[in-house]
Structure 1
Amino acid sequence: MGSRRAGEGARRRPGGRSVIVFCGYANLDVVGRVPRFPRPDERVHATAVEHLSGGMAANAASAAARAGADVAFAGVVGADPLSDRFLAELAADGADVGWTARTAFLSTAIVLVDGEGRRSVVSQDDALDAAHVTAVADRLAAAGGGYLCLDGYRAAALAGAARPGVTLAVDLDGCDDRADALTAIGRADHVVVGRARLAQLLDVPAASWQELATGRRTTLVVTDGPAGWTLHGADGRLVTEPALEVDVVDDTGAGDCFTGTYLAGLDAGLPPARAAVRAGAAASLSCTVPGARGAPSPALVDAALGQPAATPSP
């Protein structure tokens, strides 16, 4: 679909796949596990406090790499030991971290996880700006093209990322500007966003979602936590799938896992609906383990779906 904006689709490397570059947040997550979220002026004792690697784009890169994709992470961190650890953990998952700039700092997110596995997040702004997004898009195009995925905090920079051979994707969770969101839906080939954010915070009514997808030739995937997801195809196709029933331990990063697994499926040759089925299963399974990097292996996804490993279409 990238040909409609940039002149041609993502070019395939030997073996049939292209690189997926994730450009966005890299975080140190300070995670407090609490029996319940505190009320104003109340102190709640944590059962555990952990320091874990996180960040929307980095979590998605980890999930895509675990799904078998050729992945690069193009964030902005520092030159300190915490950044060293962050990049080493991402590289251990299979992501190429050589696209990451080490010119600033590793931002921090404070994450509270309650006894039901729900999370509440306070995040710190990072140093990744529109100029960095443009440089990453230029590098990807020069390398032969591929997928470029931005997180919602970079939605406004999507307009400057269109390049020949680059297929654009955006996870709008994190975007709080309605105009930026609608512009991103008009420019990206694939958009993933949570239902509550799209309908309530961004004030884009559900009745308009299919028309947005077809009118702007964008595949729009709306996730809804335990309720599952709905795909609004650029061709008018509408697909809805419930989430897997799992015992939730921690839902932090589940949406990031969905995005990463979805793009890995597309890159493997799966049609969008089939890629979303696998992404939904992976996101559900990621909630059964603590932390934001709980993406399962393809074998676990296959087992959960009760089917053999997916075979890319010709």
Structure 2
Amino acid sequence: MIWNLGSINADNVYYLSHLPGPGETLAAEKFKQGLGGKGANMSVAAARAAAKVVHIGAVGQDGKWAIDRLLDYSVDTRHIAVVDGPTGHANINVDAKGENSITLFPGANDVLPKKMIGAALAEAGPGDFLLMQNETSGQNFAAETAKTLGLRVAYAAAPFSAKAVQGVIAQVDLLVLNAVEAAQLQKETGQTIESMAVSDIVITLGGSGCKWISNKGESSRLFSAYAVDVVDTTGAGDTFTGYLVAGLDRGFAMEDAIDLALRAGALMVSREGTADVIPDLKEIQDHDFS
């Protein structure tokens, strides 16, 4: 089972000819609003990969629709609190090539009480996964609690903060980050990725695939991406991570979990949107990637 301490956002997506520069005003060609947040995206992806997922998070009074949407995607929502203040949201600009820029407002994601996190994890069992990203409060407490209870800890280091990573890295079993974040972490810590005391590290490389570093096995391996026409890269990394952790939770070998995650990420970038368009397992199994 996967216990995801994760953000829940309303995604406001603006489709533009190009990403605006400083002082530039652009009229959007299209607008969509839907469920998002790295945490919600990963919960939906993991659930669509046939894993059992419990989401730990919070929304404001204006965000009860998001709880219903997660439930529609078979995510267990018993540990999502409704708190005072606004639900988190993201304003996402997407250009004609599918690249994006994102502005986040954390809202309810930033006021998660420790007692709520502790009450949720008290139901977890040894061997379960705790999945986290850097879009909520309570990460250090959750990681320490999870390790005490015998859970495996997976951490997606985004939005990147070296301080946030260093706060939890002693408890992390699987670290997922992109190439830019990996370079930033090495610069901030003065350590190479290969020398970090994390059993498994996966560095996503966009259209080039990903790199798996097994510090436990003292090995590394590159995986190529599956070629698709890119429409929108928003949520692709979250889809990859959700599928990766789901595969591992279901007992896949790391190589097989990564391959499944790459397939899911490839389908995701061929679609417009975030959580609401994450592919399910049958779509991935039926798709011809050749």
Q: TM-score scaled to structure 2, two decimals?
A: 0.89
In the alignment, structure 1 residue 296 sits paired with structure 2 residue 279: yes
Alpha-carbon offset, residue 148 of structure 1 = 1.1
CA deviations 1:5-61 (Å, max 9, x no partner) are xxxxxxxxxxxxxx2111121111111100111222222121111111100010000
Instruction: Say how many residue pairs are matched.
Output: 283
Q: Kindly tell me: are residues 68 and 250 of structure 1, through their superposed partners in 2, closer, same or farther at Cα, counting changes over 3 Å?
A: same
1:239 aligns with 2:221: yes
CA distance in 1, matches of 2:189, 2:56: 33
Change in Cα spacing, 1:288 to 1:182, as seen in structure 2 (3 Å) is: same
Q: Measured at CA, do residues 202 and 253 of structure 1 come closer, stay the same or move farther in structure 2, by a change above 3 Å?
A: farther
**1:142-157 matched pairs, under 5 angstroms:** 142-145=123-126, 146-154=128-136, 156-157=140-141
What secondary structure is seen at the aligned counterpart in 2 of 1:263? Answer: helix
Q: Where is the strand percentage greater, Structure 1 or Structure 2?
A: 2
Determine what percentage of the aligned residue pairs are the same residue: 27
Q: What is the TM-score with the length of structure 1 in the denominator?
A: 0.82
Instruction: Determine the structure 2 residue equivalent to 1:276.
Output: 258
Give, in whole Å, the separation in 2 of the partners of 1:109 and 1:202.
Answer: 28
- Kept in 1: contact 2:134–2:164 (CA 8 A): no
Inter-partner Cα distance in structure 2 for 1:218 and 1:137: 25
Partner residue, 1:36: 18
The residue that corresponds to 2:171 in the other structure is 187
Distance verdict in 2 for CA 1:115–1:101, change over 3 Å = same
Query: What is the letter of the counterpart of residue 285 of structure 2?
Result: D
RMSD across aligned positions (CA): 2.4
DSSP-derived class of the 1:37 partner: coil
Tell me: CA distance 1:204–1:246, structure 2 relative to 1, closer, same or farther (3 Å): farther
Contact 2:109 2:135 in 1 (8 A): no
Amino acid at match of 2:11: D
CA distance in 1, matches of 2:143, 2:66: 29
* 8 Å CA contact 2:9, 2:87 repeated in 1: yes
Aligned 8 A contact 2:14 2:28 in 1? yes
CA distance in 2, matches of 1:133, 1:190: 23
Change (3 A) 1:301 1:185: farther
Which amino acid in the other structure matches residue 283 of structure 2?
L
Following superposition, the deviation at residue 140 of structure 1 comes to 2.2
Measured after TM superposition, the shift of residue 306 of structure 1 is 6.3
SS in 2 for 1:255: helix
Q: Which runs of 5+ in 1 are unaligned?
A: 1-18, 308-314
Name the counterpart of 2:181. Answer: 197
Find the counterpart in structure 2 of residue 9 from structure 1: none
Counterpart position of 1:89: 69
In structure 2, relative to structure 1, the CA distance for the partners of 1:283 and 1:27 (3 Å cut) is same
> Mean Cα displacement is larger for which, 71-80 or 125-134?
125-134
Given that 2:59 and 2:80 are in contact with CA atoms closer than 8 Å, whether structure 1 keeps it comes out as yes
Alpha-carbon separation, structure 2, partners of 1:260 and 1:228: 16
Q: Tell me the CA shift for residue 201 of structure 1.
A: 6.6
Check the 8 A contact 1:257/1:283 in 2, yes or no.
yes
Q: In terms of mean alpha carbon deviation, does 115-124 or 71-80 score higher?
A: 71-80
Q: Aligned partners of 1:202, 1:152: CA distance in 2, in Å?
A: 18
- The equivalent of 1:221 in structure 2 is 202
Please give the alpha-carbon distance, in whole angstroms, between the structure 2 residues aligned to 1:227 and 1:134: 42
- In 2: Cα distance, 1:190 partner to 1:137 partner: 21
Shift of 1:90: 1.2
1:21 and 2:6 aligned: no
Unaligned runs of 5+ in 2: none
Q: Which residue of 2 aligns with 1:163?
A: 148
Amino acid corresponding to residue 225 of structure 1 in structure 2: G
Q: Cα deviation per residue 1:214-240 (whole Å; 9 max; x = unaligned)?
A: xx2421111111111111112223121
Distance of 1:261 and 1:133 partners within structure 2: 27
Per the TM alignment, residue 168 of structure 1 is displaced from its structure 2 partner at its CA by 1.2
Question: Aligned letter for 1:171?
Answer: A
